[in-house]
């Protein structure tokens, strides 16, 4: 054990209302929007395959040229209420939007820079409109903020000289000022999602990120912060040098999920953020470049995250004009239709304390001790679902969520192991079987107490 002075601040897992709400939300919408949405991955007629929000670097564009995009940013089709209604219909309970990505352009009128929405043809407080519209639909909003800032003259990747150190001190003050400004301007936001914190400059400033997290949480009670914000004084990130998670949830699952059988991951709160193409966060004009995930794939990811106590943050990249491409609109509808019928297996649900089995994923509502959800993705060819529960568990009845008054046939195999027969399931979509137990699934809740 090392002596870590600048590691974890808030003892985990948090059981306060703000964190319980974060945990019960489960499904969120990520929005990546900035100047990069204008060129959309294409520059001087050439299409760049790398992530569209990195076009400045992949096309070797000078900062001056890139930053001049500011004077073209005029999303005439932006309608925050329409966005919020689409998000609501999709079934998300929270949304995380880029306030400032690596390019440094701010979607809110910041008093600490002119490289912001105020100095564009649009001019209005776009971020404020977004937050108001999403909150009006009952959707919590958290703010993505990139510490890495390609525009700011004081940004340094590494601190090699006294001059670097002095410049980075100014950058740290700028960062703190902008974050306090965001919390001042938008008091209803629930969280901060930090990115761009992997460089040496930030790893050398563990004490600063410790004191910053402390200050932000004092200013904004209940604030939920991702582990990506932090480094400890030895440069250890996400987890301190003794392996203790920093921030409030683990945010290392970017475009990847844990192994579905991994139960270690269930011990912390965590979130997976995911793109619909293979690797585009910002709007890219050409979606033929890679595989585009289907609603079924994305629903399975959401269900897997829930089954392992994680949240799923699905990314959308609005165009430079402020609307969504048709593929995203279609996916939002398809996912929303599934959520309309099955969200009871997602919202306020988590790890059921049971091993994953071949037909799909167990989830369990955090407020129920005797009801377990089976979310089915793979129908057994004989229509018999083998379920292995905790020893001593006795099934009182099992039924399709879609047909609650028709009990399914059960056959007990051994202590806590059954076949559930569901032969006539017509749907082509994933579906839910509900198991109601005779007795308290005490082992699971005992496990919960230990975590």
Ligand X SMILES: Cc1ccc([C@@H]2N[C@@H](C)[C@@H](O)[C@H]2O)cc1
Residue placing its CB nearer to ligand X in the complex, 211 or 254: 254
32, 54 Cβ separation under 8 angstroms: no
Residue placing its CB nearer to ligand X in the complex, 98 or 110: 98
Ramachandran quadrant class, 123 (left: phi over 0; alpha: psi -120 to 50; beta: rest) = left
* Secondary structure of residue 158 in the 3-state scheme: coil
Q: Least Å distance between CB 299 and ligand X?
A: 21
Q: How far is CA 268 from CA 140, 146, 238, 298, 372, in A?
A: 21, 24, 12, 22, 21
Q: Least Å distance between CB 144 and ligand X?
A: 7
Separation between Cα atoms, residue 288 and residue 298, nearest integer Å: 18
- Binds ligand X (CB under 6 A): choice among 140, 195, 213, 240: 195
Using CB under 6 A as the criterion, what x/- string covers residues 52-91 for binding ligand X? -x--------------------------------------
Q: Least Å distance between CB 22 and ligand X?
A: 18
Residue placing its CB nearer to ligand X in the complex, 98 or 178: 98
Residue placing its CB nearer to ligand X in the complex, 34 or 322: 34
Residues that contact ligand X, how many (by CB under 6 A):
7
Q: Is 339 in the site for ligand X (CB under 6 A)?
A: no
Q: Is 254 in the site for ligand X (CB under 6 A)?
A: yes
Q: Least Å distance between CB 237 and ligand X?
A: 14
Separation between Cα atoms, residue 322 and residue 73, nearest integer Å: 10
Q: Least Å distance between CB 48 and ligand X?
A: 14
Q: How far is CA 372 from CA 188, 232, 441, in A?
A: 34, 40, 9
Long-range Cβ contacts of 165-171 (<8 Å, 24+ apart): 168/201, 168/205, 171/201
Residue placing its CB nearer to ligand X in the complex, 53 or 441: 53
Q: Least Å distance between CB 221 and ligand X?
A: 26
Rg over CA atoms, the chain: 23
Q: Is 250 in the site for ligand X (CB under 6 A)?
A: no
Long-range Cβ contacts of 272-275 (<8 Å, 24+ apart): 272/301, 272/305, 272/310, 272/311, 272/312, 272/313, 273/30, 273/313, 273/315, 274/30, 274/298, 274/301, 274/312, 274/313, 274/314, 274/315, 275/315
Separation between Cα atoms, residue 131 and residue 322, nearest integer Å: 15
Using CB under 6 A as the criterion, what x/- string covers residues 208-247 for binding ligand X? ----------------------------------------
Q: Least Å distance between CB 28 and ligand X?
A: 13
Residue placing its CB nearer to ligand X in the complex, 220 or 284: 284
Residue placing its CB nearer to ligand X in the complex, 50 or 347: 50
Name which of residues 165 to 184 contact ligand X (CB under 6 A): none
Write the DSSP symbol of residue 415. T
Separation between Cα atoms, residue 8 and residue 11, nearest integer Å: 7
Residue placing its CB nearer to ligand X in the complex, 293 or 448: 293
Q: Least Å distance between CB 195 and ligand X?
A: 5
Using CB under 6 A as the criterion, what x/- string covers residues 112-151 for binding ligand X? ----------------------------------------
Separation between Cα atoms, residue 316 and residue 322, nearest integer Å: 12
Strand pairing class (140-146; 191-195): parallel
Residue placing its CB nearer to ligand X in the complex, 103 or 213: 103
Burial group, residue 419, by CB count within 10 angstroms (0-12, 13-18, 19+):
middle
Q: Least Å distance between CB 42 and ligand X?
A: 17
Tokens of 73: 């940013």
Residue placing its CB nearer to ligand X in the complex, 7 or 318: 318
Ramachandran quadrant class, 218 (left: phi over 0; alpha: psi -120 to 50; beta: rest) = alpha
Using CB under 6 A as the criterion, what x/- string covers residues 39-58 for binding ligand X? ------------x-x-----
Q: Least Å distance between CB 107 and ligand X?
A: 14
Burial group, residue 404, by CB count within 10 angstroms (0-12, 13-18, 19+):
exposed
Name which of residues 267 to 296 contact ligand X (CB under 6 A): 273, 281
Q: Least Å distance between CB 424 and ligand X?
A: 43
Beta bridge pairs of residue 245:
239
Task: State which residue has the least CB distance to ligand X.
Answer: 281
Residues that bind ligand X (CB under 6 A): 32, 51, 53, 195, 254, 273, 281
């Amino acid at each position: 054990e090392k002596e870590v002075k600048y590691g974890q601040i808030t003892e985990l897992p948090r059981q306060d209302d703000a964190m319980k709400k974060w945990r019960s939300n489960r499904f969120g919408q990520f929005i990546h929007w900035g100047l990069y949405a204008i060129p959309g991955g294409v520059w001087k007629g050439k299409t760049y395959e790398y992530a569209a929000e990195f076009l400045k670097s992949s096309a070797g564009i000078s900062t001056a040229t890139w930053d001049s995009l500011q004077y073209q940013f005029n999303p005439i089709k932006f309608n925050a209420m329409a966005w919020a209604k689409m998000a609501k219909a999709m079934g998300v309970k929270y949304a995380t939007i880029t306030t400032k990505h690596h390019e440094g352009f701010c979607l809110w009128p910041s008093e600490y820079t002119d490289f912001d929405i105020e100095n564009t043809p649009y001019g209005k407080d776009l971020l404020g409109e977004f937050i108001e519209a999403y909150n009006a639909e009952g959707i919590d909003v958290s703010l993505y903020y990139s510490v890495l800032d390609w525009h700011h003259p004081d940004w340094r990747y590494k601190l090699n000289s006294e001059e670097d150190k002095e410049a980075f001190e100014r950058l740290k003050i700028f960062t703190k000022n902008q974050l306090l400004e965001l919390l001042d301007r938008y008091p209803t936001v629930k969280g901060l999602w930090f990115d761009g914190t992997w460089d040496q400059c930030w790893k050398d400033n563990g004490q600063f990120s410790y004191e910053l997290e402390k200050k932000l949480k004092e200013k904004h009670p209940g604030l939920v912060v991702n582990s990506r914000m932090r480094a400890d004084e030895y440069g250890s990130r996400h987890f301190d040098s003794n392996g203790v998670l920093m921030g409030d949830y683990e945010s290392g699952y970017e475009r990847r999920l844990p192994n579905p059988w991994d139960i270690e991951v269930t011990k912390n709160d965590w979130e997976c953020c995911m793109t619909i193409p293979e690797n585009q966060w910002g709007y890219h004009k050409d979606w033929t470049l890679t595989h585009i995930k289907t609603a079924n794939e994305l629903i399975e990811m959401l269900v897997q995250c829930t089954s392992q106590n994680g949240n799923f943050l699905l990314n959308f990249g609005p165009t430079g004009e402020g609307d969504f491409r048709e593929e995203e609109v279609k996916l939002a509808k398809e996912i929303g239709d599934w959520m309309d019928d099955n969200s009871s297996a997602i919202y306020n649900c988590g790890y059921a304390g049971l091993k994953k089995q071949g037909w799909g994923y167990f989830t369990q509502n955090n407020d129920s001790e005797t009801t377990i959800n089976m979310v089915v993705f793979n129908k057994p060819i004989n229509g018999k679902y083998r379920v292995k529960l905790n020893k001593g568990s006795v099934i009182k009845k099992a039924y399709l969520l879609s047909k609650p008054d028709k009990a399914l046939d059960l056959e007990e195999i051994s202590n806590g192991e059954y076949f559930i027969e569901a032969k006539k399931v017509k749907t082509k979509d994933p579906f839910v079987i509900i198991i109601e137990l005779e007795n308290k699934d005490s082992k699971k809740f005992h496990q919960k107490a230990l975590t």
